[in-house]
Structure 1
Amino acid sequence: MRVLVASAPLVGHVRPLLPLALALRDAGHAVLLATAADGLTAAPAGLPVRDVAPGFDFGRIARRVLLRHPLIARAELAGTAGTRGAALLFGQVNDELADGLVAVARDWSPDLVVHEPFAVAGALAAARVGVPAVRHENSLFDGRELVRVTTGRLAAALRRHRVAELPPPAAAIAVAPPSVAVQDGWPMRYAPHTAGELPHWLREPADRPRVLVSRSTVAGPGGAGPMRAVVAAADRVDAEFVLVRPDRRLSRSALPPNVRTVDWIPLDAALPASAALVHHGGAGSVLGALAAGVPQLATTGPGDRRFNANLAARRGAGIAAPSRQITPGTLTRLVTDPALRAAAREVRREIAAMPPPAELVARLESLG
């Protein structure tokens, strides 16, 4: 079977799709990843990838779209736009992906297209060549709603490729643990795919609680995440803090004795020996902490970050707070509150009980 995997051109969108893509490849199927720009860098060695939008610039699209819609832009920056901002941004993103994805589908002749909700142009390509499409969730939103609002902005692309309307997916794959977010589809265990080497000292617990602090893979508002706030409070907290990929200015500044820095590391490998994760509120970070069973502090930033952070907090497995409210007391609670640890471990068991990606291969084979 030939499987085309379509993703929006962002690292954080590609990576959640890789475990299933690699499971399909390991089962003997031909798999081709179709994305663009930064997404191309996320493809692991041995997985073919095709650039479907040469010259793609997400920042240019974001600036142009949000300047045209200032009220939605303001809500998007506050994290209160819901899917309205996603519809505008990813409607334009998918318009730019559509022609390349259709061309790849015609040239490569897949038997099945797997696409994320933010890459609904993959469903368009599947419809154009007459093969089934499968929606693979990679966020904590309801993928059905994301596809609906994004498709509403794809009228021109649908006309260009003579597709009257997108058919419903042949199947959907849900990665969110049900106690955190309800998604439609076959459940699949969230299995993060991260890059980098893990230093030996991160494999074992530290003498005091270790807190990993990460930031977004996307530049722009809120991209630096909570790192500066954590550094400002760190010397008054009985814990060790590890900044993952801090920006150059922060990494070159004088840091408290209990703060260290590292470059890219596989967070999923480092989390088991850590006490907590502090991050920017991205869906991958929320799910990664939940899969590891560690408490998290997620900042309530732009886009979907407020939504994601609040989901973790409502489940009791984390704290949701803007960066300005990160204090020594907040960080101390993060590493000492037994209720946070208990809830995080409950969700870890819930995720572990979901089928791994390899178990979904046979179900996908029945569609192709």
Structure 2
Amino acid sequence: MRVLFTVYPSHAHLWPAVPVAWALQSAGHEVRVASHARFTDSIRATGLTAVALGDPSVDEARMRPDARPPAQPEEVLRYADALGLDDEGREHWIAYYQWLLNPISDYVRIDLPYAAELIDFAKAWQPDLLICDPTFACGPVAARVSGAAYARMLLGADYLGWSMDRLAERRDEVRAAGLSENPQADLVRPLAEKYGIEVDDELLYGQWSIDPMPPGMTLPTSAVKVPMRYVPFNGAEVLPEWLYERPQRPRVALSLGESTRRFIKGDWGRTPKIIEAVADLDIELVATLNSLQMEGIEHIPDNVRTIDWVTLTHLLPTCSAIIHHGGIGTYAASAALKVPQIVCDTGETLMMRSVQVDPRTMEDGTYRIGFEFGINEAVVETVTTWELPAKKLEATPTSNYVISRGAGTRLDHTTQSVEEIREMIQKVVTDPSYQAGAQAVFDDWLSMPSPSGVVPVLERLTAEHRR
């Protein structure tokens, strides 16, 4: 069969799909991966065939100054009240409504060429199955127009599915509050109507979803799920010579994510604390950080190796522990390689707040629409930036799961002293209970079907659902 993947132009969205794409290709199926034309080199580097959308000389949709901004906190909370959400539920809703709806809006715009080009390709190539990144929302329309079966490839907890269920359950209360009963449908509808497509639950949910999260990290939804082991892929790189041999003393990795540092200046003072904490420990810290993330560090101790980038699947087999930001890809690599985890997480809400700043500067931990370091740093006359919480979107569910399995602990740089962080790192490295917990996480991971193991399931569901 022919399988078309659609991915948001980011490594954090592409890499989770690579193992299942290769499993399908290795089983004899034709596979194509569609994304913005600027991202095709990254797709080709995985050994997969890319379909370029748009002009490579033009910025991708999120880099445009007219990209959709996050919703204001007042609007987010009006919905949360109408939905009757508790504190935990509010965080799930914030993740969906204030964070995920922004990228979801980017590739359904009818004033941009990407959706039309994807749909034209799908009509011409006639895929049997379209596997869609949930944030690349023109994919479902392309599937409906071409007659392909349609599945979502989840990248983490299913905030979209959870939120859709809450909106359906409380439709009357949402209407009574004067709010749209389905804000995602509002974003997709202009494109769907252009092609005579009805916006229904299947278009928004998918006919089924590939879910790579272990049971303790999933959210309950009414969506049909196909569980699949999250096999880590961090890019194809040459193995550095310094990783050929085991280290002389315990090695700890420090990784704070690939995507955040493209858009956010600084690190909320977190990295300087961690670097200071390890200075007196008998360990080697490998800090995979760039110059922006290293700001504020006046002295790098002798036991700290700084490197802009190294593939985690190369580094982690030599490590006794990892300190990381809570991203799902980093968690999965650590789980697959049985490495105890120290997850950076704070007790604050995920809510973003807008602030007006001097257009010539960006404050530590702020985000600006249409900005990316090294790509688009143009100064505009009026600048609204968004203050972000000092943690990754997935940090809390990741840290909760790791702690529940005894595989690690939580690092909160906003409340813990350098001494407390030092003691925490020492304990995770030396206490064998954390290695036992990492083994338990690995066992959870291994118990899930592999990408090749789900191929027959995908073949059967495709035969049932394609038109």
Q: Secondary structure at the match of 2:108?
A: helix
Coordinate RMSD, CA, aligned? 3.2
Deviation by residue 1:229-263 (Cα, 9 ceiling, x = unmatched):
32222202221100124326839974211111234
Which range is displaced more, 320-329 or 259-268?
320-329
Matched, 1:190 2:230: yes
Q: Which has the larger radius of gyration?
A: 2
Q: Distance in 2 between matches of 1:333 and 1:209?
A: 12
Give 2:318's aligned residue: 273
Deviation at 1:211, TM superposition (A): 0.8
What secondary structure sits across from 1:216 in the alignment? coil
User: Within 5 Å, which residues of 2 pair with 1:32-43?
Assistant: 32-36=32-36, 39-43=39-43
Tell me which of 319, 330, 333 is aligned to 1:285. 330
Q: Is the 8 A contact 2:108 2:137 kept in 1?
A: no
Residue 244 (structure 1) aligned with residue 288 (structure 2): yes
Equivalent residue for 2:398?
308
Q: What's the TM-score, normalizing by structure 1?
A: 0.86
In terms of mean alpha carbon deviation, does 302-311 or 44-53 score higher?
Answer: 302-311
Question: Partner residue of 1:14?
Answer: 14
TM-score (normalizing by structure 2): 0.69
Alignment correspondent of 2:363:
none
Cα distance in 2 for residues equivalent to 1:295 and 1:39: 33
Stretches of structure 2 that go unaligned for 5 or more consecutive residues are 81-90, 166-182, 346-390
The residue type paired with residue 232 of structure 1 is E
Q: Please name the residue that 2:441 is paired with.
A: 347
| Alpha-carbon distance, 1:70 to partner | 5.0
Distance in 2, matches of 1:10 and 1:243, equals 22
Rounded to whole Å, the distance in 2 between the matches of 1:190 and 1:336 is 28
Match of 2:60 among 53, 56, 59: 56
SS in 1 for 2:282: coil
Deviation at 1:214, TM superposition (A): 1.3
Describe the SS at the equivalent of 1:154. Answer: helix
Q: 1:82 aligns with which of 76, 81, 95?
A: 95
Provide the C-alpha distance between the structure 2 equivalents of 1:62 and 1:335, rounded to a whole number of angstroms.
47
Paired residues for 1:220-259 under 5 Å: 220-221=263-264, 224=267, 226-247=270-291, 250=294, 254-259=299-304
Higher share in helix: 1
**Cα 1:288–1:257 shift into 2, 3 Å:** same
Q: Where does structure 1 lack aligned partners over 5 or more consecutive residues?
A: none
Counting matched residue pairs gives: 365
The structure 1 segments of at least 4 consecutive aligned residues displaced by more than 6 Å after TM superposition are 72-75, 146-149
- Shift in Å at residue 220 of structure 1? 2.7
Q: 2:103 matched to 1:124?
A: no
% identical equivalent positions: 27
Secondary structure of the residue that 2:437 maps to in structure 1?
Answer: helix
What residue number does 2:2 align with? 2
Q: Is the Cα–Cα contact under 8 Å of residues 87 and 153 in structure 1 kept in the other structure?
A: no
- Answer whether contact 2:405 2:440 (CA < 8 A) is retained: no
> Which moved further from structure 2: 147-156 or 93-102?
147-156
Flag the 1:222–1:177 CA change in 2: closer, same or farther, 3 A. farther
**Contact 1:221-1:302 at 8 Å conserved across structures:** no
Residue 153 of structure 1 corresponds to 187
Tell whether the 8 Å contact from 2:407 to 2:435 is kept in structure 1 after alignment.
Answer: yes
CA–CA distance in structure 1, aligned partners of residues 74 and 241 of structure 2: 48
Cα distance in 2 between the residues matched to 1:189 and 1:357: 7
Give distance in 2, aligned partners of 1:100 and 1:194: 29
Bigger mean CA offset, 6-15 vs 294-303: 294-303
Distance 2:38 2:266 in 1: 15
Aligned residue in 2 for 1:174: 211
